């Protein structure tokens, strides 16, 4: 392994590295849609006792369809179709239970996307890494595949816990986990991977220096 590939091990975007070529900033509409999706559990919790499930179901369907239309990606189209079924069930039965399964659908969709990329290749994390560094050494490709596997485990576990909160927890517990705890866990995983990536890069750079010396 040459010195340059050794420095690229992991090859996920490194906040400490120089910034990549400027990309178009997301529009205000896109940012609002993302914020609404993130805040959905809190919005449902606030709506309890104030707004009927049918109105929330309509809002959820509109949100999913808007994200699918804005993103123009198959992932969000698939999510929108599944969420539309949940919204229809919530509206038909005028109940909250189907509407609480939205986070489960998103996690399962992400799990399917990441798992499918492991089978077909390249992995999701490898594709993200190549946005920054198009030429990845084999060690970096293997690392990105392992990180993709870790994310698969995370999404599977998160979907299971989210489903449990939807079925058995009260509204406050469901909103707390899906609106706060899940995002904190995701941030912790991202931060932990960044630290591991730096150690892996340093170890390979040290090994390369020992060989050269």
Kindly report, residue by residue over 152-166, the tens digit of the pLDDT: 999 999 999 999 999
Q: How far is Cα 87 from Cα 94, in angstroms, rounded to an integer?
A: 10
Structure tokens at 188: 């912790």
Structure tokens at 2: 């040459």
pLDDT score, position 30: 65
**Residue 86 in 3-state DSSP?**
helix
Q: How far is Cα 43 from Cα 14, in angstroms, rounded to an integer?
A: 34
Q: Give residue 59's pLDDT band: very low, low, confident or very high (50, 70, 90).
A: confident
Mean pLDDT of the chain: 80
Pick the more confident residue, 66 or 145. Answer: 145
* Domain range annotation of the chain: 28-212
Percent of the chain with pLDDT over 70: 81
Q: Give residue 199's pLDDT band: very low, low, confident or very high (50, 70, 90).
A: confident
Q: What mean pLDDT comes out for the span 67-76?
A: 76
Q: What stretch of H or E contains 118?
A: helix 102-120
């Amino acid at each position: 392994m040459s010195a340059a590939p050794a420095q690229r091990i992991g090859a996920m975007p490194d906040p400490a590295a120089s910034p990549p070529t400027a990309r178009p900033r997301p529009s205000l509409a896109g940012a609002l849609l993302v914020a609404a999706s993130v805040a959905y559990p809190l919005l449902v919790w606030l709506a309890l006792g104030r707004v009927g499930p049918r109105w929330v179901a309509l809002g959820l369907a509109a949100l999913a369809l808007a994200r699918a239309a804005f993103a123009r990606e198959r992932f969000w189209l698939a999510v929108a179709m599944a969420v539309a079924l949940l919204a229809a069930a919530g509206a038909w039965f005028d109940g909250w239970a189907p509407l609480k399964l939205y986070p489960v659908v998103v996690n399962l969709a992400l799990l399917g996307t990441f798992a499918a990329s492991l089978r077909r290749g390249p992995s999701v994390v490898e594709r993200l890494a190549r946005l920054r560094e198009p030429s990845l050494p084999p060690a970096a490709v293997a690392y990105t595949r392992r990180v993709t596997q870790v994310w698969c485990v995370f999404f599977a576990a998160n979907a299971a816990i989210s489903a449990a909160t939807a079925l058995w927890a009260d509204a406050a517990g469901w909103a707390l986990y899906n609106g706060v705890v899940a995002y904190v866990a995701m941030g912790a995983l991202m931060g932990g991977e960044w630290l591991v990536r730096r150690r892996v890069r340093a170890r390979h750079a040290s090994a390369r220096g020992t060989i050269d010396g």
